[in-house]
Amino acid sequence: MSLPTQRDAAGQLRALGWSKYFADQATSAALSKTPPVRITQVHRNTLHIQGVDLDMIIPGLHGVTVGDWLLFDADTPRNSQLLSRKSLIKRRAPGHDRKEQLIAANLDTAFVVTSCNNDFSLARLERYVAMAHEAGVTPVIILSKIDLTTEASDFAAQAQSISPQLSVVCLDARSPEAIELLRPWCQAGQTVAFLGSSGVGKSTLTNSLAGNEAIATQDVRASDDKGRHTTTGRQLHILPSGCAVLDTPGMREIQLTDVSVGLEETFADLHALKQNCRFNDCAHKTEPGCAVQAAVASGEVDVPRLQRWLKLVAEDAENTKFLANRKLRDRAKNKLEKSVTKYNSKK
C-alpha cells in the first residue's frame, strides 16, 4: 500500500467532516501517532470507523455514538480518545428503562422529514426542532411526497408556523430536483442527518444524494401511510461529493430530555411573553397577571400551539428530573458496589 499524499489525506479527512474545531483539540504529534477516525456505525459490541485510507471494525467503546471523532489508538483501540463534540442529539429512549440515548454527534444540519400525508404532525415536528436547537444543529423541515398531494402548500404553511426563521423544503425525494433543493446544506465537509418516522423517504433521499440505489427502501402501507421500518440501524454515508449523510431508522417516539434551551428557541414568542407574567412560577393557566393568557385573549397567541408548548415543557421537566434521579441512584449504587468489593477484598 502506498502512503497517502498530504493533499489526499486532507481531502479524505474533509470529506469525513474533519474541521479546525477537531484539529484544534490535538497536537500534530498526537494526530500522527493516533490518527483521527470517524464512527460511521455503532453495533452492539463493535464500531465501524473510517479515516484516511482506513475503514474497519473495532471493539465497542462506552458512551460514543455515530458521528463521533476518535484519535484512534491502533495498538489498543480501547484507549482511543473521544474528541469533544460540536453538537450532540439525544433523546430519552422509549421503553421501561427510559435511559438517555445518544442519536448522533457532530451534525451540522438535521433534516426533519415528514410526508404530505397522514404522517404529518405539527407537534412531532416541534419536538424534533426543539431537539435540534438544543443540540446546536440547524433544523430544516423536509416535506416529502409532494407528487402525491395537491395540498403541499398547506402542509408547508403549517410547518412554517413553527417559526418564520425555519427553512421548509417541499420535494419529491426520488426526483433529481431534490438534490438541488438540499444542496445549500450538503456542501463538502458538512454532516447532515435525515430524521423522521418510518416510510417518509429518509433512505430515498440518502440514495438521491449518493446518486445510487445502494440503500434498501420499501413502500408504505396504503391504508395509513405507515412505513415498514426498513432501515434498522444508523449509518453515516460518506458521499463522493464530500458530504457525510446519516440515514436513520424511523423513530416511533421522541421523548425530550434536557431541552429547555431548545424549547425556548423553538417557542421564542411564548418564551418572551412569559417574562412578563406576574409570578415567576406562573403556569399560564388561571394565574392573575399572566401575560401569556392575556395574549391568548387578544388573539395574539394560537391556543393549540400554547397547549403543545405547555405539554413539551412539562414533559422535558419530568424526563430531565427522572434521568437526574436515575444518575444519582446509579452513582450511589456504584459507590455501594465499590465499597462492598473493597470490604470483601479486605476480609
Ligand X SMILES: Nc1nc2c(ncn2[C@@H]2O[C@H](COP(=O)(O)OP(=O)(O)OP(=O)(O)O)[C@@H](O)[C@H]2O)c(=O)[nH]1
Contacts with Mg ion: how many residues (CB under 5 A)?
4
Q: Between the CA of residue 43 and those of 17, 61, 68, 101, 304, what are the distances in Å?
A: 21, 10, 14, 14, 40
Helices (H), 170-235: 176-182, 202-210
CA distance 115 to 157: 14
| 204 near Mg ion, rule: CB under 5 A | no
| 246 near ligand X, rule: CB under 6 A | no
Query: Of the two residues 251 and 310, which places its CB atom closer to Mg ion in the complex?
Result: 251
| 86 near Zn ion, rule: CB under 5 A | no
| 117 near ligand X, rule: CB under 6 A | no
* Through-space distance between the first and last CA atoms of the chain, rounded to whole angstroms: 57
Number of other residues whose CB lies within 10 A of the CB of residue 119: 23
Q: Which residues pair with 140 in a beta bridge?
A: 111, 167
Interaction partner, residue 290 (ligand X, Zn ion, Mg ion, none; CB < 5-8 Å by kind): Zn ion
Range 215-244, binding Mg ion (CB under 5 A) = 230-231
Lookup: cell for 168: 421548509
Interaction partner, residue 148 (ligand X, Zn ion, Mg ion, none; CB < 5-8 Å by kind): ligand X
Q: Which amino acid is at 167?
A: S
Interaction partner, residue 277 (ligand X, Mg ion, Zn ion, none; CB < 5-8 Å by kind): Zn ion
**Residue in 60, 55, 82, 78 with CA at minimum distance from that of residue 69:** 82
| 148 near ligand X, rule: CB under 6 A | yes
Lookup: cell for 299: 388573539
**Residue in 217, 203, 214 with CA at minimum distance from that of residue 240:** 214
Task: Tell me how long the chain is.
Answer: 347
Give the shortest CB-208-to-ligand X separation in angstroms: 9
Query: Of the two residues 132 and 292, which places its CB atom closer to Zn ion in the complex?
Result: 292
Give the shortest CB-64-to-Zn ion separation in angstroms: 42
| 256 near Zn ion, rule: CB under 5 A | no
Is 284 labelled a binding residue?
A: yes
| 173 near ligand X, rule: CB under 6 A | yes
Is 147 labelled a binding residue?
A: yes
Residues at the site binding ligand X, with contacts judged by CB under 6 A? 144-145, 147-148, 172-174, 198-204, 217-220, 227-231, 249-250
Query: Annotated binding site for GTP: which residue ranges?
Result: 144-147, 196-204
Give the binding site for Zn ion (CB under 5 A).
277, 282, 284, 290, 292
